[in-house]
Structure 1
Amino acid sequence: MKKHTVWFLIATLLLVLAGCGSKPASTDNTSSPAPPVDDDTIFEHIEPEVTIPATEIEIDENIEEDAVEEPETTADPQAIPDTLLDYFPPDDTSVYYEGVGNEFAQMANTISRPAPDYVVIRENNGGSYIQKVYKLESDQIQLVKEEPVDFNVLLPTPAELDAMVPIRTYLKEPIQVGTTFDDWTIIEVGASLQTPYQQFDDVVVVEQVDSDFVNRIYLAEGFGEVKRESIMTIAGEPDYVVTSTLENMTQP
């Protein structure tokens, strides 16, 4: 009897264990359904991780700076062009010329620029002291005064400069062969000229022709007149030639 009781207890225990392991999920329809899933709620707090290399940031900044960079300004077309200003020596320059053919062909000149658009040249040829005043305009240079003066005379005042009126055109653009102003014509550009001072290879030659004489001036940028030449024709005689050629130039 005792033996049968033990086996009965063992069988009962096995049935209980098997029933616990195979218990079905609850199907109670009265339980509350799960709340709906909101996609926005799911991703609301998820921030994508983006890594931008430092080099890419620098490139973007450079591109942005270039995009807003202001364009370069251009010169005012009405301003005095440098090409005309360069046909005079710098301010406070002394220029010396070797003279041939005439005792007054040798000269010692001084250059002054009392105002931005004026140049004063004083020529000392040993016999007289001539003051010439040039006014620079947008496309030409005007000679507005030429007169003998005392050696120690003061430079013209701004009011005196403004009151001067043109006598003739000294030089005019375009600087090319064939340009004519008054009775002068540009006959050569890019000419070569040997002077006691140095060799010049970009000289502008301007000529004035009359029935019995020819006058020429030779201009180099940064130096002004590097030579003057006057040729007088006399019937039955050789031409009479007088030249003044650049010999030296000093600056302060």
Structure 2
Amino acid sequence: MNEIKKQLLAKMGDTTEKKYSVIKRVNDSLDSKPQKVKKFAWGYYITFASFVGIFILGLIFLPNLLNEQSAINDEDPSEVDPETDPMEDTGYYEELKQFFPPNGTVATFSGGDFYSDGYKVYTTWITDRYIQETIYANLKDCESCDSETPTKLYIYRITDEEIQLVYDGDQMVWTMEELEQLPTLTVKLKAPIKVGTEIGAQKIVSTNAELTTPYGTFNNAVVVEGGVDPTTPEIYSISYYVPNYGLVKRNTEGFWNAELESISFGSEITDDEGDYSDLLKSYFFPPEDLDLFFIGGFENSGVKVQTKWLSEKFVQQISYHGGGTIEKIYKITNNQIEVIYETMIDGSTPSNMTIGELEQLPTIDIVMKAPFTVGDVFGEYTLIDTNGEVGTMYSTFENVIVLESETENYLSRKYYAIGFGEVKIESMFYNEETGQYEEGVTTELSSIDQIMNEVVGNYLFRVFEEEQYNYNSIDEDEISPLNTKRAILHGRAGDFEGLNRLVIEDLETGKFTIYKYRYEGEQNTPKDIEWIDEERLFVIIGYGYGTITKGGSLYILNVEDHSITPVFENIFENNGKEEIMSIEANGDGTFTYKKHIYDDAEFNVGHIEEGSITP
């Protein structure tokens, strides 16, 4: 009401003279007539007449004033001058927090300092008051440096009055209590956001400046300029902040010059926009802790991807392949899947972070957003199909999501199936001579297992050790000479065709060792076994399907150190026409084998030979 009175006076002017003019006219009128003044209450009527005059003027001007006030209240908040009165509970917090981008945003900047040439900023809202910025810089003159490794970490605190920098250093994980105890290193912005507000040796010089960066043009930049700090006022710096983008440009004379080049907003959808987390989970991860095996990969060595659900929100995947072992941790939000942790763990154990620590990790990459829309772009990949079909060794999948990345000479596609996650990755290289893409490295799902404890194997088998293992009663098995172990061919259960895995049961401890053929794409499998002693046995490994292949290659497997040795080095030199069909112990330390030899090039006619060996 006081504000309305002030605006009323501003519109009407000071009514004091009008009041006295009315009084004078009334008095003059009264003085012109003979009256008995002593008996009349002139003061009462004069006051009444003054009030009536002011009231009439108010009726004339007040509606216009109220309309103008309503128009001000209806203006777009973005167009209102940023100088506002602080709220009773949160001060200027709401005004200050707009100078950070949403959680999960990745911003790319050109320029930098003496040592960097461009960098990325990953923004993570730890809480509504603490924001973490992780910097990934492209370091100059450092070929061995990894641009995927964080080079700097900043943590900011938003109070009711200012934005404080409270940490500047290497990547760390904090508890809430530790964050609260961090001292203020410097103040980046201070309220009220208006021209003249001083921030240390700097001050705000504009709140609606126009600015052009490689990303685009802004017309609402807040400009802060002045000395870097009170101790070095001669070092001039100017920074530009834009609501919902944060810092978009900074120039510190002689030291730093960087500006926004691109930005990918990573804010989660609000509740009223829907929750797609279950849909995302079904397409990108198996529903439980599993080992997924893939054929192909680096040097065709195959890939094992182990998936562990750390919580409903966080998933760990460890990929074992010929090029090394990689650990990734994903975060599932309402509408997207984010990579928040990625590292090589060759020779080391996987991470073991708490959920609280995982919550503080920044977003490294966004794998996918929902709802799924053809044409959406996620980093280097574009969503090209939401109802695709793809075949793998394991199965053929429908309703597949397909992502594609294409450069001048390279094409890559990823396929995601409900209930399994990523089931195939294929890459192709462009042949300039033929004008066609040619197949490169491809991996595809071949088998699925419950997670088992993998140990060091050999060049043919992955080896796992388990306390329990379920096998079929009709599986082919054989007891060792001293009855301490059982060898089991588990898989095709007596069928002529199919794939087995070799399982060794320790009859004394009840534990199991599982040998899984490493190159599943070749579809070779253990086909026959014969114990030599308590540590060694013969294993025949050959193609698991068809009638042309009668046997395979003969090996000696040591079940103690898991080493494997071929018995006949040159058995396949005769164009693959010779195969060991069976081997049996003679009881005297010698073993008799049967070898099948094809006599014609068409693999139609052959004969069997027998031989004897002593291991």
Instruction: Find the aligned partners of 2:349 and 2:402 in 1 and give their Cα distance.
Output: 33
Whether the 8 Å CA contact 1:108–1:123 is kept in 2: the answer is: yes
Question: Once superposed, which parts of structure 1, at least 4 consecutive aligned residues long, lie more than 4 Å away?
Answer: 75-80
Whether the 8 Å CA contact 1:121–1:133 is kept in 2: the answer is: yes
Whether the 8 Å CA contact 2:275–2:335 is kept in 1: the answer is: no
Measured at CA, do residues 127 and 184 of structure 1 come closer, stay the same or move farther in structure 2, by a change above 3 Å?
A: closer
**2:318 is the counterpart of 1:122:** yes
CA shift, 1:164, in A, is 1.4
One of 450, 456, 460 as aligned partner of 1:251: 450
1:113-154 CA distance string (max 9 Å, x none): 112211111000033110011111111111112210145334
Secondary structure at the counterpart of residue 169 of structure 1: strand
CA shift, 1:194, in A, is 1.3
1:142 corresponding residue in structure 2: 338
Alignment gaps of 5+ in structure 2? 1-270, 452-615
**2:282 is the counterpart of 1:86:** yes
1:218 corresponding residue in structure 2: 415
Measured at CA, do residues 221 and 76 of structure 1 come closer, stay the same or move farther in structure 2, by a change above 3 Å?
A: farther
2:378 corresponding residue in structure 1: 181
Structure number with bigger Rg: 1
One of 419, 424, 445 as aligned partner of 1:227: 424
One of 360, 381, 392 as aligned partner of 1:195: 392
Whether the 8 Å CA contact 2:409–2:430 is kept in 1: the answer is: yes
Q: Within 5 Å, which residues of 2 pair with 1:57-68?
A: none
1:181-218 CA distance string (max 9 Å, x none): 23321101221111111111111101112222122110
The one of the two structures with greater contact order (alpha-carbon pairs below 8 A, sep at least 6) is 1
Secondary structure at the counterpart of residue 164 of structure 1: coil
Instruction: Give the partner amino acid of 1:122.
Output: I
2:360 corresponding residue in structure 1: 163
Instruction: Give the partner amino acid of 1:191.
Output: G
Instruction: Give the partner amino acid of 2:363.
Output: P
Secondary structure at the counterpart of residue 115 of structure 1: coil
CA shift, 1:76, in A, is 7.9
CA shift, 1:98, in A, is 0.7
Whether the 8 Å CA contact 1:90–1:222 is kept in 2: the answer is: yes
Normalized per residue, the structure richer in strand is 2
Secondary structure at the counterpart of residue 200 of structure 1: strand
Secondary structure at the counterpart of residue 289 of structure 2: coil
Instruction: Give the partner amino acid of 2:337.
Output: I
1:172 corresponding residue in structure 2: 369
Instruction: Give percent identity, aligned residues only.
Output: 29
**2:294 is the counterpart of 1:97:** yes
**2:420 is the counterpart of 1:207:** no
Instruction: Give the partner amino acid of 1:195.
Output: T
Measured at CA, do residues 133 and 234 of structure 1 come closer, stay the same or move farther in structure 2, by a change above 3 Å?
A: farther
Measured at CA, do residues 174 and 105 of structure 1 come closer, stay the same or move farther in structure 2, by a change above 3 Å?
A: farther
Whether the 8 Å CA contact 1:144–1:164 is kept in 2: the answer is: yes
Instruction: Find the aligned partners of 1:156 and 1:90 in 2 and give their Cα distance.
Output: 22
1:212-247 CA distance string (max 9 Å, x none): 212211000110001011223354476351110000
Measured at CA, do residues 194 and 97 of structure 1 come closer, stay the same or move farther in structure 2, by a change above 3 Å?
A: same
1:49-105 CA distance string (max 9 Å, x none): xxxxxxxxxxxxxxxxxxxxxxxxxx98664521101121123110000106x4166
Instruction: Find the aligned partners of 1:76 and 1:89 in 2 and give their Cα distance.
Output: 28
Whether the 8 Å CA contact 2:404–2:412 is kept in 1: the answer is: yes
Whether the 8 Å CA contact 1:86–1:224 is kept in 2: the answer is: yes
Instruction: Find the aligned partners of 2:336 and 2:375 in 1 and give their Cα distance.
Output: 15
Measured at CA, do residues 77 and 116 of structure 1 come closer, stay the same or move farther in structure 2, by a change above 3 Å?
A: farther
Measured at CA, do residues 105 and 79 of structure 1 come closer, stay the same or move farther in structure 2, by a change above 3 Å?
A: farther
When normalised by structure 2's length, the TM-score is 0.27
Instruction: Find the aligned partners of 1:187 and 1:173 in 2 and give their Cα distance.
Output: 14
2:110 corresponding residue in structure 1: none
Whether the 8 Å CA contact 2:276–2:371 is kept in 1: the answer is: no
Whether the 8 Å CA contact 1:105–1:244 is kept in 2: the answer is: no
Number of residue pairs aligned between Structure 1 and Structure 2? 177
Alignment gaps of 5+ in structure 1? 1-74
